[in-house]
Structures are given as C-alpha cells and as structure tokens.
C-alpha cells in the first residue's frame, strides 16, 4: 500500500466530518489500537495497524479492503488478520459507523433478491358471499 504525503493527508483531514476528525486523534482510538495489537501479539506492528486504520478514517482505504491490506502488507496469518480486523472494526470503526457510511457512500449492497423462477399457482377463491334472496 502506498504511503501518502503529509500535505495530502491534511487536505483530506480538513474535509472530514467532525466525528471522524476526533476519532483520528482521540486517545481512545490510540489506546484501542494499542490494546488490540498487544492482545494479538503484534506490538511491533502497532504503528502500521494504526496507519491503515487511519487511512480508513480518512477515506483512503475502504473498511472492506482493510483486512486484505493487513494480510498483504503486514504479512499476517489469516486468523491474526481476521481477529485484528474484527477488533478494529468493533472498537475503532463501529463508533463512527454513520460518518464512515456517509464518507464511503451507502452501505454495501445486500445479497440480491432472486426473482421466483417458478410460476405462481393460480388460487381459487373458495369464499362465497350470500346473494340476497338465497
């Protein structure tokens, strides 16, 4: 993954919603990332994990691509990658979910609903009203 020039990052930062600006520099975010890396034995990779989480918050890396970038760039095992991405999602990204959805557009499309391939059966109405005089 490319590193971005500091000037470009500041330009992007200035355009962010206030909630994301606060999340990027919050002590809570830094502490969460540190604890996640420590729990998963990745203390030496904490700066890189923080960088990529920051890229998600800045709009440079979609949350969907975050896990793949961790696996590829940090050379993590699949189980480590899934666990770290899951925890970052829960403790760092989820609290600002609405702002991220606004930044990245709508929520990912859900599974398309398939049309019925079988013809609907014709139903016979068995209910009959009484006609006057019956």
* Burial class, 92, CB count within 10 angstroms (exposed 0-12 / middle 13-18 / buried 19+): buried
Q: With contact defined as beta carbons under 8 Å apart, do 84 and 35 qualify?
A: no
pTM: 0.73
- Per-residue pLDDT for the chain (134 aa), expressed as one digit of tens each? 678 888 998 998 999 999 999 999 999 999 999 999 999 999 999 999 999 999 999 999 888 899 999 999 989 889 999 999 999 999 999 999 988 888 888 554 444 444 444 455 566 656 666 666 65
| DSSP character at residue 90 | I
């Amino acid at each position: 993954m490319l590193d971005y020039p500091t000037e470009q990052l500041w330009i992007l930062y200035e355009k962010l919603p206030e909630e994301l600006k606060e999340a990027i520099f919050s002590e809570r975010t830094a502490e969460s990332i540190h604890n996640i890396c420590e729990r998963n034995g990745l203390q030496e990779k904490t700066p890189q994990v923080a960088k990529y989480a920051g890229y998600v918050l800045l709009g440079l890396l979609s949350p969907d691509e975050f896990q793949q970038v961790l696996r590829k760039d940090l050379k993590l095992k699949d189980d480590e990658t899934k666990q770290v991405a899951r925890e970052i999602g829960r403790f760092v990204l989820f609290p600002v979910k609405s702002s991220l959805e606004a930044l990245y557009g709508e929520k990912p499309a859900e599974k398309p609903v398939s049309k019925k391939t079988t013809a609907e059966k014709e139903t016979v109405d068995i209910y009959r009203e009484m006609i006057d005089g019956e």
